[in-house]
Structure 1
């Protein structure tokens, strides 16, 4: 009886300690969330200020909401065309990255062969290469192929540099899927393509969502590749259109903030759509199926 009383008192003492720690953790997380979301809030209010108010009252709500900042930025930056170009490039590169990355991840995770380790090492090496160090060789290569000023001059490099991380994320998730599921599908008459398309890929949707949001952020916000490979006004992407509001003599901050607000909306929407799947994908492989 004494042992039971002591155990119960220890349990109560532990619960009393956990409650303050849990409260402190919530306060820290709330503080972190505020710090993380504040730049987005500041961008939102700055997009509707005049240049004078932007400098005089940088952290307060607009006294006079300049709604025409959005429309003027849209028209002057030709952002309709820029959004279309960014959408075409981003969606195309995303599809290639997901399809090729998950196929390669499935092969490397499930099929042992002599060069399996060497291939994994090759993709790991691809993650270590500084992306911007390849700009000059890629420019020369694409110039000889006549690919400059085309969508492919952005789609192919984006896909190539995103594949290594997509493959490693996909491998970590596929390894956690029980092999018995594939064996049951094979008994039902499915081949390898059927197993991948009907079993593996649907079960891997959480990690696919994670790959999607990571790749989307890189593709949508890229400036350096678009600056080097695209010169045609008709093919300029959204980051290039943002640079039009700044020159060597000054920056129109009201229009710049309006344009940045427009550019940030698709990223927010994509994250809100995939947030549940992203959370599942972030813990991929932590629990074996």
Structure 2
């Protein structure tokens, strides 16, 4: 009887802690979503109280009085090309490092991993100087290239760990059947690494979509602003803010991230688990 009570108490404590942790994590998102539909007068008078009324006025404001659709389009374009190149280059580099035997492949792998230790801030001045000289300032390429460079190391690491998990016998059988190097990569490695590809896409999408640093430094024109920079439009004279429209714009900006994360969560878990089995 005593053992049963102790076991039940531990279970209750465990699930109580899990529920508290979930509440702490979910509360800011739920509050933001509710705030996006609340009138400004309520947000100013009682921002943390339960909403007395809900309205779509905030969303009407951001769609009619701001360029948020342009900002979302720019973020989508940058995200699409950045993620496409990240998956392509990291998977090809990882395939060469993990499965092609050549002198220096371990050193090459370590060279890529050095990128994990380099912070964004130390590269801003050299990048700005270089981009200014070749005329890339105020272009989408000036944001795509740094994002690609900084997201490659962790992506290569995930792909390398997964490719090492694939038996060499599969590749040897393909070679015997007359399959070339690009055939092995395109017909064998890519289909087998679907979970890892989705993991890389989901992880990097969060960083690329929410990029603020490179967009702020390299983008000047309003026509090329991303959603993270465009949120500044809701700051009025003397720092006054339209809080309802601001929260609506923020809710709209995090919607793609939430959709990607929750839709690919199981695939991400599977991809990261497979990549961690063998190194």
Query: TM-score with structure 1 length normalisation?
Result: 0.89
The question of 1:55 aligning with 2:44 is answered yes
Which residue matches 2:206? 217
Which residue matches 2:164? 175
**Which of 250, 272, 275 is the equivalent residue of 2:240?**
250
In 2: Cα distance, 1:232 partner to 1:272 partner: 34
TM-superposed CA distance for 1:15, in Å, is 9.3
The question of 1:280 aligning with 2:277 is answered no
Which residue matches 1:236? 225
TM-superposed CA distance for 1:65, in Å, is 1.2
Which residue matches 1:30? 19
Aligned length, in residue pairs = 278
Q: Which 10-residue stretch deviates more, 110-119 or 192-201? A: 110-119
**Which of 67, 73, 82 is the equivalent residue of 2:62?**
73
Q: Unpaired runs of 5+ in structure 1?
A: 1-12
Q: Which 10-residue stretch deviates more, 125-134 or 82-91? A: 125-134
Q: How does 1:130-209 map to 2 (within 5 A)?
A: 130-209=119-198
Q: Unpaired runs of 5+ in structure 2?
A: none
In 1: Cα distance, 2:260 partner to 2:193 partner: 18
**Which of 266, 271, 284 is the equivalent residue of 2:261?**
271
CA contact (8 A) 2:37 2:54 kept: yes
TM-superposed CA distance for 1:125, in Å, is 1.3
Give the greater-gyration-radius structure (CA). Answer: 1
Q: What is the Cα-based RMSD across aligned positions, in Å? A: 2.3
In 2: Cα distance, 1:279 partner to 1:167 partner: 17
SS in 2 for 1:177: coil
Deviations 1:243-282 (A, max 9, x none): 1112543222111101001101111111122122111022
TM-superposed CA distance for 1:79, in Å, is 0.7
The question of 1:90 aligning with 2:79 is answered yes
Q: Which 10-residue stretch deviates more, 48-57 or 119-128? A: 48-57
CA contact (8 A) 2:159 2:275 kept: no
